[in-house]
Amino acid sequence: MANESNLRCLSTREAREIGKKGGKASVEARRKKKSMKQAMNLLLSLPVNDGNMAKLKLLGIDSDNADNQMLIMVSMMQRAIKGNVSAAQFIASLTGDIAMSEAERAKINLERKRLKLEEKQFALEQDTGNDEIQSKQDAITGIVEQLRELSDDEVMDDE
């Protein structure tokens, strides 16, 4: 377990070296990710085999658009039609038509209620502040009213 006795500060040189290693690892990870993305794009753009081409033609898809990407889209569409919810969600996410779930609606409603409560609390604090100022002003006014000008005789008596 770490505690102050076994911690040490890194020198600028050590921190720089660690940063360099992290930067190099990040570049390598991005390179691999880019390479995988390019490979997947290549696979998706390849033409489909003859058996799948016949299926796509039955659906009215011409050979110019018949690639593996289209085959996947047709497959997902067929699954969604059969009632596969995750396939329907996948299609919705691709088309940007993601419906809001009940949990998300509930979360938004709770957030709205929280904001309304915060606004009420803020207004209450503002009113309380004004009430405090007013009560202090009333107290000062009361004290001033109780004071009266002292006559010369009263001032002389005290001395």
Domain boundaries, the chain: 21-98, 103-146
Q: How far apart are CA 64 and CA 112, in angstroms?
A: 50
CA angle in degrees (0–180, nearest 5) for 151-157-159 = 115
Q: How confident is the model at residue 33 (pLDDT cuts 50, 70, 90)?
A: very high
Q: At what angle do helices 68-81 and 12-45 cross, to 10 degrees?
A: 80
Tell me: pLDDT of 159 over 60.
no
Report the candidate in 36, 42, 91, 109 with the shortest Cα–Cα distance to residue 69.
Answer: 42
pLDDT digits (tens, 9 = 90+) for 93-119: 888 766 566 777 778 888 888 888 888
pLDDT of amino acid 72: 93
pLDDT bracket for residue 9 (50, 70, 90): confident
For residue 121, what pLDDT is reported?
A: 79
By three-state DSSP, how is residue 65 classified?
coil
The distance of Cα 135 from the centroid of its chain, to the nearest Å, equals: 44
Query: Which residue has tokens 């690892």?
Result: 25
pLDDT grade for 92, boundaries at 50, 70 and 90: confident
Q: Which two tokens stand for residue 45?
A: 């753009």
Threshold 0.85, pTM exceeds? no
Q: Is the pLDDT of residue 76 over 90?
A: yes
Long-range CB pairs of 39-48 (<8 Å, 24+ gap) are: 43/68, 44/68, 44/69, 44/72, 45/69
- Please report the sign of the dihedral spanned by the C-alpha atoms of residue 102, residue 104, residue 107, residue 109: negative
Find the mean pLDDT for residues 8-20.
Answer: 88
User: How far is 48 from 29, CA to CA, in rounded Å?
Assistant: 31
Q: Does residue 12 have a pLDDT over 60?
A: yes
For 47, the 3-state DSSP assignment is strand
The pLDDT, as a whole number, for residue 128 is: 64
